[in-house]
Amino acid sequence: MMFVMRKSIANARAAAKDATHERIVSVAARAIRRTGYDGTGVADIMKEAGLTHGAFYSHFASREAMLAEAARKACAEAAAGVADVVAKEPPGNALAAMLSAYLSKAHVENAEQGCPLAALGSETSRQAPEVRRVATRHIKEMIDLVARQSPDWGRPDAHEQALVTLSTMVGTLLLARAVDDPGLSDSLCAAALKHLLPSTS
């Protein structure tokens, strides 16, 4: 009986630690998209998660390890959002729906929960290898997802077209967020959509 109680307590503690770890990662995933890798400090993350700074090292070996997990979560959330848009559409409409959602005003205005590639792309090359590895994996997944929605899927140039499409998507979103002119921001997104999907014009 005592063994069962100890095991139950140990399981409860492990579950609580896992939940706390996930909370920290979720906070960090939002923070890196909001303030960038360099603007995300351990103390601020722990405070926002409702924890002490000292508790950090019981969850992560280093700040870089936390950033890698945060990037992984941000990428997973973004990929799930895109996949959800695609799943709700007939195959012929999926690419248009994906691009329209990605280059929407709502996405432009919601960096904290949006695409980490646009939010963090310019900083990623200066990050630790584990962070760059996460970004690289996500870019490959997004290229594949875009290619599979293309009417040219299965043809040799579908992959190349997906490279151009993703680059245009991310670059447009980055610029649309950067400018302080709402009209220009809207025009950037509209022009990219017109170029990528002429039928939407």
pLDDT at 11: 65
pLDDT at 155: 84
CB 79 within 8 A of CB 145: yes
Contact of 95 with 150, CB cutoff 8 Å: yes
Tally of domains in the chain: 1
**Longest pairwise C-alpha distance within the chain:** 71
Whether the pLDDT of residue 4 is over 80: the answer is no
Q: Which two tokens mark 43? A: 């103390």
Nearest to 142 by CA among 68, 73, 78: 78
| More confidently predicted of 14 and 133 | 133
Distance CA 81, CA 79 (A): 5
Q: At what angle do helices 63-87 and 116-124 cross, to 10 degrees?
A: 140
Q: Provide the total of helices (H) and of strands (E) in the chain, helices listed first.
A: 9, 0
Q: Give mean pLDDT, residues 60-64.
A: 92
Q: How confident is the model at residue 2 (pLDDT cuts 50, 70, 90)?
A: low
How far apart CA 42 and CA 78 sit, in angstroms, is: 23
pLDDT tens-place string over residues 64-120: 999 999 999 999 999 999 989 989 988 789 999 999 999 999 999 999 999 999 999
- Report the pLDDT value the prediction gives residue 156, as an integer from 0 to 100: 79
**47: Cβ–Cβ under 8 A, 6 or more apart, which residues?**
53
pLDDT grade for 54, boundaries at 50, 70 and 90:
confident
Question: Do residues 25 and 76 touch, judged by C-beta distance below 8 A?
Answer: no
Do 5 and 13 meet the contact criterion of CB atoms below 8 Å apart? no
CATH number of domain containing 133: 1.10.357.10
Domain that holds residue 144: 2-200
pLDDT digits 0-9 by tens, 123-182? 999 999 999 999 999 999 999 999 998 888 888 789 999 999 999 999 999 999 999 999
Coil/strand/helix, residue 62: coil
More confident residue, 92 or 62: 62
pLDDT score of 166: 96
Give the Cα separation of 179 and 58 in Å (integer). 41
**pLDDT of amino acid 200:** 42
Average pLDDT over residues 40-65: 91
